[in-house]
Amino acid sequence: QVQLVESGGGLVQAGGSLTLSCVASGRTFSNYAMGWFRQAPGKEREFVAGISWGGGRTSYADSVKGRFTISRDNAKNTVYLQMNSLKPEDTAVYYCAAGRSRYLYTADDQYAYWGQGTQVTVSS
């Protein structure tokens, strides 16, 4: 089993920044890709960003490119999501997910384990 615990969510004004963290335990963190997804009220869960096992490859949703940065520290079993220039439409519950393999995918069915989510609210 893998446990993922997110933190760092909160309320921020538009244009502000937040950094989400996700600490993993239960398996060798560095062997697997990691991703961030989000789900807004009344909408389906969507891919936000992903990072390969070693951090050499990243991928972003078009809606967050240039504003969000995903990174990982394998020594700390932690993946981060730095979010800048936040917009009200970024309001959602953000989920950390651990991939089924080393390779980076954007589809949520390629992620085997999920955190409980952390709420991000951006006020206008």
Tens of pLDDT, residue by residue over 50-103, are 999 988 899 999 999 999 999 999 999 999 999 999 999 999 999 999 999 889
Rounded Cα distance, 1 and 85, in Å: 35
pLDDT band at 40 (very low <50, low <70, confident <90, very high): very high
pLDDT band at 31 (very low <50, low <70, confident <90, very high): confident
Average pLDDT value for residue range 2-10: 95
Residue 2 pLDDT greater than 90, yes or no: no
Give pLDDT, residue 116.
96
Residue 27 pLDDT greater than 90, yes or no: no
